[in-house]
Amino acid sequence: MSEETTTVDTQELGEQIVRVLKSIYDPEIPVDIYELGLIYDVFVNEDQEVKILMTLTSPNCPVAESLPVEIEEKVKSIDAVKSAIVEITFDPPWTQDLMSEEAKLEIGLL
């Protein structure tokens, strides 16, 4: 397999992962976790192993334990994904500034 093909596949897989993330909603705010700005980074290596770096709206978020598990399960359900790990960070802490324009519009901040 050429290096070019691998790069395209990894990018395509990354786009599939983002689509899955956009289907997962914060239970308190009617906006998906991607548009909400909770996803800081998605790493996909050539072995189709995925690591997602994310935050929560607050350290006391009621879904702090269940949301990462839900994300891992949904991302692992993509056929090409071999493994998925979600890492939670609060550095930098989440603020409304991380929300997309679409998300801000949805909850009336614009």
At residue 5 the predicted structure's pLDDT band, cuts being 50, 70 and 90, is very low
At residue 62 the predicted structure's pLDDT band, cuts being 50, 70 and 90, is confident
Rounded to an integer, the average pLDDT of 56-60 is: 88
Exposure pattern of 37-66 as b/e (b: 16+ CB <10 Å)?
A: bbbbebebeeebebebebbbbeeebeeeee
Domains of the chain and any CATH numbers: 3-100 (3.30.300.130)
Rounded to an integer, the average pLDDT of 69-96 is: 96
**2, pLDDT greater than 50:** no
At residue 28 the predicted structure's pLDDT band, cuts being 50, 70 and 90, is confident
Whole-number pLDDT of residue 50 = 97
**φ, ψ dihedrals at 26, nearest 5°:** -65, 135
Rounded to an integer, the average pLDDT of 72-94 is: 96
Over pLDDT 70: what percentage of the chain?
93
Q: What is the mean pLDDT of the chain?
A: 90
